[in-house]
Amino acid sequence: MLCVNLLLLTCLSIVGIVSEPESDWLHTACSGDGVCGPANSQCFEDGCMCAIGFYYSEGSRTCLDSCTDLDTDGYLMYANATINENIVYSNNGTEDDCSYICSKDPTCLSFEFSVGEPCKFHHVAASVSNWEVAGSYLFQRTCV
C-alpha cells in the first residue's frame, strides 16, 4: 500500500524511493499491551512492528537484533518517534532526499524526518527514544 501523503498518520506505508516490507503480522491491528508477531516485536500505534532497535528481516519475516545485510531502500516507519542521541549529521530536504542519502551511506541505520525540520541521520537503530514527538517520523533500515 502506498501513501499519497506522509502526513496521513493512519497510513504506515511510505512514499517515494523507500519501500515498506510486507508480512503476515507486520502492521496488523493490536492493542497497547497486546502480543504481536514474532519475538522482539511490539504493538506500536495500534499496529504490530519490530521493537525499535530490532531489524525487520524480509527473508525470515522476523525481528533480528543485528543485521549484516541491510536492504538498500527498505525502511520501517515509526510515527511520532525519535532517537534523541547519536545524531551523525543533519540535512535539509524532503523525505525522499533523506531516504536517498541514508540509503547511500552504509553506516546510516536510521533517520528522522519532520516537515520543516532538517533530517537527522543515525548510525544506530535505537537509543533513548521519545515516543511522543507529534509530527516526527523515525525510519529504521530493514534487512534483506
Bin 121: left if φ > 0, else alpha if -120 < ψ < 50, else beta.
beta
Instruction: Return d(Cα 105, Cα 131) in angstroms, integer.
Output: 26
In a domain, residue 52? The reply is no
In a domain, residue 45? The reply is no
Q: What's the average model confidence in pLDDT over 68-83?
A: 83
- Look at residues 134, 110, 133, 124 and name the one whose alpha carbon lies nearest to residue 18: 110
pTM comes to 0.75
In a domain, residue 77? The reply is yes
Enclosing H/E stretch for 73? strand 70-79
In a domain, residue 90? The reply is yes
Enclosing H/E stretch for 139? strand 136-143
pLDDT digit string, tens, across residues 123-132: 887 765 555 6
In the chain the first and final C-alpha atoms are separated, in Å, by 20
Instruction: Return d(Cα 59, Cα 57) in angstroms, integer.
Output: 5
Could you tell me which residue, 140 or 22, shows the higher pLDDT? 140
The CATH code of the domain that includes 98 is: 3.50.4.10
Instruction: Return d(Cα 113, Cα 37) in angstroms, integer.
Output: 27
Q: What is the pLDDT of residue 2?
A: 27
Domains: count for the chain = 1
Domain range for 76 is 71-143
In a domain, residue 92? The reply is yes
pLDDT digit string, tens, across residues 12-64: 333 333 455 667 899 888 876 666 888 999 888 778 989 888 889 988 899 99
